[in-house]
Structure 1
């Protein structure tokens, strides 16, 4: 089991992105942040609110080792996340980290790992940035396929472009190709050794179907609703082939698609 830590982190900045997300950067002034793997997540305690007794699970967007910072991409859709976008520089935020199991970084000895495709839908694109960095650091050149309903749902492409080529799909065609990520022409133009995905469940199922048809190894990061983040409350259950019902927060959030009882 991964060792978990509680930190009081200081807000470095909290920047609005496209009026849709907030990029929250946090640091510790007293301790070096622990090692964190792409695909893991944190649990944020929401202060000053009687309506948010439970912490909020947020994907790790990026870890800057030089600045000792962790970045969180926030989509304000509920009381807790709306409170988080109001954090200001210098505020102190209590966070439990790192939680869960992350993505697999392949070995160069693995067969067919020339092209690694990272698919993110909406706020599900958050963990793909840190994963892209890890893959680039391991000597790979990942490809990013980012999708959203419209242009304002696309996270800053410049950040992803540091680590690989970026392809965009929007449902309304306001940027990139029109349609879903699984409609993008990249699927016809290239083959892939590994596929990683995070986003709405219908999107991940569609990507998993593509991977199954191609015979490609695929991992998905699930976004089930969570409470405690440590496997006690049992509210993030997912049905698996090999182990029955498991807690996404402790067994995942990343799963090989071959483990999941999905219609693929």
Structure 2
């Protein structure tokens, strides 16, 4: 797939809570086909320490408005700089990068997201529903104050939540939610902290369910040149930015 380098106009910044926000960025030319699971690399201007581009999952694509939504958590100088963008600013983006989640048809699908790893799952949920699948989403966060965008996910299916302190939904981690044992799923898709994804993978292997994960390795170039995102697989080392970020769990040395 052809990779593009374009300037986008910042249309809107929506603060979800004190740590998370969504940027609506408008392409100046018609958007190409973008698939769930793909990501972008953004250039940070006027930063004294954040020299490399930052990889961000594509949260959603609005073709009617020619807009890409980027879900971002403020964790370092780079993402904090992105949080300072205002309407009318320009953001240089390389896109679309990476591979995609599989899209089955007429299947019972489970999405499991933890923390800011929920970013690519909303766009995936739309594609799964459009393909005739039943979509169930389990979102795990630390506490009730971190529960965001529930209604957005509810547009595509049932949504369940877990919080580590039990202040919202079931107490515990996403892989401990009771729905995982109550219902039989055909496909599982996940993104989030690696320990959580490994727990999802173990659940899927135990139940003999098809499962794909989206890895969150450092991906500076997006073209497989810098080799900072290499991940170990059963068939050798692979660049997450080009042969991922989505991997079938049976291909990983987990």
Question: Do the two structures share a fold, i.e. TM-score over 0.5?
Answer: yes
Q: 2: CA distance between counterparts of 1:153 and 1:57?
A: 22
User: Which of 230, 234, 238 is residue 246 of structure 1 equivalent to?
Assistant: 238
Give, in angstroms, the shift of residue 18 of structure 1. 2.0
Matching of residue 257 in structure 1 with residue 249 in structure 2: yes
Gaps of at least 5 residues in structure 2 are none
Give, in angstroms, the shift of residue 58 of structure 1. 0.2
Report the number of matched residues.
Answer: 254
Helix, strand or coil: the match of 1:95?
strand
CA offsets per residue over residues 164-207 of structure 1, 9 Å max, x none? 11000111112111000111000121010000000000000000
Q: 2: CA distance between counterparts of 1:255 and 1:62?
A: 20
Conserved 8 A contact 1:39-1:103: yes
- 1:81 match: 79
User: Which of 118, 124, 131 is residue 117 of structure 2 equivalent to?
Assistant: 124
Give, in angstroms, the shift of residue 107 of structure 1. 3.5
User: Which of 85, 104, 107 is residue 105 of structure 2 equivalent to?
Assistant: 107
Q: How does 1:1-264 map to 2 (within 5 A)?
A: 2-28=1-27, 30-108=28-106, 113=107, 115-242=108-235, 244-262=236-254
TM-score (norm 2): 0.98
Conserved 8 A contact 1:20-1:152: no
TM-score (norm 1): 0.94
Q: 2: CA distance between counterparts of 1:230 and 1:81?
A: 21
Give, in angstroms, the shift of residue 152 of structure 1. 2.8
Which structure 1 residue ranges, 4+ long, deviate > 6 Å from structure 2? none
Question: What value does the CA root-mean-square deviation take over the aligned residues?
Answer: 0.9
Gaps of at least 5 residues in structure 1 are none
CA offsets per residue over residues 241-264 of structure 1, 9 Å max, x none? 02x1111011100000000001xx
